[in-house]
């Protein structure tokens, strides 16, 4: 009888552990699972909440000039003077709107510089906007073979995201809204030097070196990045701007992205009548970009990026000498900037009385492989324990 009870209790404990583990697996490992989640509410009628002042303040002429200024520094290749001069300019411009600092790191013997600028640095909830400011050292996709080893201007690939973000920062910082959010503007170095068509930007480098380094460093030295009440878990959303300035703008869906965040932004784009730019029924593609290290930590991300690899898709200049100011559309900068400011207003305006939490999806623990491996390990453990109990009984 005692053995039977022993067997019963062992099984009950095992079943409890399995169910408890799974409830955590399927819960929200990227966010604070044990804390109360703020209720998600969609505004009943987003039209009612329209604030024409915030999104209408986006000045596309200023954004366009922000691209030209970056190009005036020259090629912003990691380790070059031009790169550092551009980084210093971004940093000093951003200091007008809040605090801003360079975060230096090295790859091999090359000095690189990420920049983080913060508006409202002390609020615990963080919203991140990001772009890379380095420009590619080679034009490996140029139709003219003799140009494939020459650096590109990166007016769109690099320049456009930085330019739109600087203008968004200006408007958020100068607005009279009493934000309960820390807005971070991250300018990554060393994004665009990986290997493509057998040609590297910088030998031996991967894509997204700057963001990969930052995430490693954030986990190792959180105090350098976060205030006391902040952590990776208080990052509410992360939006990346990559090639947002070409004509015939059409953003794609990226597989690391958070569906709810994408849907919110794309619906707002649609409500502003940018229906071609923010298609809701698009195919999902997978792209290595600066949002991936953040998505892998369970942070809700959105990569605003075009189908840059398809020469028939409206902007055929990716990694060619055509990525220059002649192929930038001020209207595309305006469409991107206005949509994101409207998203910020509808999602984070404290007068509306809610902070939207985007459900975390893309974590290590939610990958089918990891879940499968977990089930296998649990199955083997059950079998081993049952076997042990059975052999004890007889």
Q: Which of 242, 257, 297, 346 binds ligand 1BN (CB under 6 A)?
A: 242
CA-CA distance, 292 to 289, in Å (whole number)? 6
Contacts of 203 (CB under 8 A, 6+ apart): none
Q: CB of residue 80 vs ligand 1BN: minimum separation in angstroms?
A: 19
From 126, 192, 186, select the one nearest 162 (Cα to Cα).
186
Say how far apart CA 327 and CA 337 lie, in whole Å.
18
Write out the two tokens for 80: 């070059």
Would you count residue 196 as binding ligand 1BN (CB under 6 A)?
A: yes
206 binds ligand 1BN (CB under 6 A): no
Q: Work out which of 142, 157, 303, 346 binds Zn ion, going by CB under 5 A.
A: 157
User: Residue 169: which of Zn ion, ligand 1BN, none does it interact with, CB under 5 to 8 A by kind?
Assistant: none
Q: Which of 222, 244, 253 is nearest to 235 (CA)?
A: 222
Q: Which helix (H) or strand (E) holds 384?
A: helix 368-393
- The least distance separating ligand 1BN from the CB of residue 253, rounded to whole angstroms, comes to 15
Using the rule CB under 6 A, give the single segment among 15-23, 81-89, 117-125, 192-200 that binds ligand 1BN: 192-200
Q: Specify whether the CB–CB gap between 158 and 210 falls below 8 A.
A: no
Q: Look at residue 277 and give the partner it binds from ligand 1BN, Zn ion, none, a contact being a CB closer than 5 to 8 Å depending on partner kind.
A: none
- Quick check: 200 binds ligand 1BN (CB under 6 A)? no
The contacts of residue 96 (CB under 8 Å, 6+ apart) are 170, 173
> CA triplet 310, 242, 97: central angle to 5 degrees?
165
Residue 346 partner contact from Zn ion, ligand 1BN, none using kind-dependent CB cut-offs of 5 to 8 Å = none
Residue 139: contacted member of ligand 1BN, Zn ion, none (CB under 5 to 8 Å, by partner type): none
Selected from 142, 209, 289, 297, the binder of ligand 1BN by CB under 6 A is 289
* Region 259-288 residues binding ligand 1BN, contact defined as CB under 6 A: 287-288
CB of 28 to ligand 1BN, least distance (A): 28
Residues 6+ apart with CB under 8 A from 381: 14
Cβ atoms of residues 193 and 167 within 8 Å: no
What does the DSSP 8-state code read for residue 297? Answer: B
CA triplet 154, 101, 72: central angle to 5 degrees? Answer: 30
Report the nearest approach of Zn ion to the CB of residue 207 (Å).
8
Pick the closer one to ligand 1BN by CB: 53 or 203. 203
Which residues in 181-220 contact Zn ion (CB under 5 A)? 192
207 part of the interface to ligand 1BN, by CB under 6 A: yes
> Residue 106: phi, psi to the nearest 5?
-125, 145
Name the segment binding ligand 1BN (CB under 6 A); options: 67-75, 160-168, 190-198, 271-279. 190-198
What's the min distance (Å) between Cβ of 51 and ligand 1BN?
A: 32
Residue in 204, 274, 255, 239 with CA at minimum distance from that of residue 358: 239
289 lines the binding site for Zn ion (CB under 5 A): no
Q: How far is CA 314 from CA 91, 307, 335, 354, in A?
A: 32, 9, 16, 38
Residues that bind Zn ion in the complex, under the rule CB under 5 A: 157, 192
Residues that bind ligand 1BN in the complex, under the rule CB under 6 A: 192, 194, 196, 207, 242, 287-289
């Amino acid at each position: 009888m005692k053995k039977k009870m022993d067997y019963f209790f062992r099984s009950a404990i095992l079943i409890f552990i399995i169910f408890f583990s799974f409830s955590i697996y399927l819960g929200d490992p990227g966010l604070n699972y044990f804390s109360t989640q703020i209720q998600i509410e969609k505004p009943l009628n987003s039209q009612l909440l329209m604030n024409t002042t915030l999104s209408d303040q986006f000045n596309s002429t200023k954004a366009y000039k922000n691209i030209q200024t970056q190009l005036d520094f020259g090629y912003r290749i990691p380790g070059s003077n031009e790169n550092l001069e551009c980084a210093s300019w971004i940093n000093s411009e951003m200091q007008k709107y809040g605090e801003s600092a360079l975060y230096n790191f090295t790859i091999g013997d090359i000095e690189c510089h990420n920049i983080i600028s913060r508006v409202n640095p002390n609020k615990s909830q963080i919203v991140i906007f990001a772009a890379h400011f380095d420009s590619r050292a080679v034009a490996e996709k140029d139709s003219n073979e003799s140009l494939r080893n020459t650096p590109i201007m990166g007016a769109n690939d690099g320049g456009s995201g930085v330019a739109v973000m600087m203008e968004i920062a200006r408007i958020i910082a100068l607005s009279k809204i009493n934000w309960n959010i820390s807005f971070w503007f991250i300018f990554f170095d060393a994004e665009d030097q990986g290997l493509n068509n057998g040609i590297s930007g910088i030998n031996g480098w991967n894509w997204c070196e700057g963001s990969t380094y930052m995430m490693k460093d954030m986990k190792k030295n959180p105090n350098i990045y976060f205030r006391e009440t902040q952590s990776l878990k208080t990052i509410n959303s992360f939006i990346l701007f990559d090639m947002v300035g070409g004509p015939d703008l059409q953003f794609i869906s990226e597989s690391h992205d958070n569906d709810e965040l994408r849907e919110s932004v794309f619906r707002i784009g649609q409500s502003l009548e940018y229906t071609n730019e923010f298609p809701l029924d698009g195919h999902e593609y997978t792209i290595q970009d600066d949002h991936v290290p953040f998505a892998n930590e369970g942070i809700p991300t959105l990569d605003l990026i075009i189908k840059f690899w398809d020469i028939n898709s409206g902007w055929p200049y990716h990694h060619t000498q055509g990525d220059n100011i002649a192929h930038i559309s001020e209207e595309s900068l305006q469409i991107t900037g206005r949509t994101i400011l409207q998203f910020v207003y509808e999602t984070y305006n404290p007068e509306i009385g809610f902070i939207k939490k985007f459900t975390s999806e893309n974590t290590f623990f939610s990958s089918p492989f990891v879940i499968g491996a977990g089930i296998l390990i649990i199955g083997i453990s059950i079998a081993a324990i049952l076997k042990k109990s059975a052999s004890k009984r007889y």
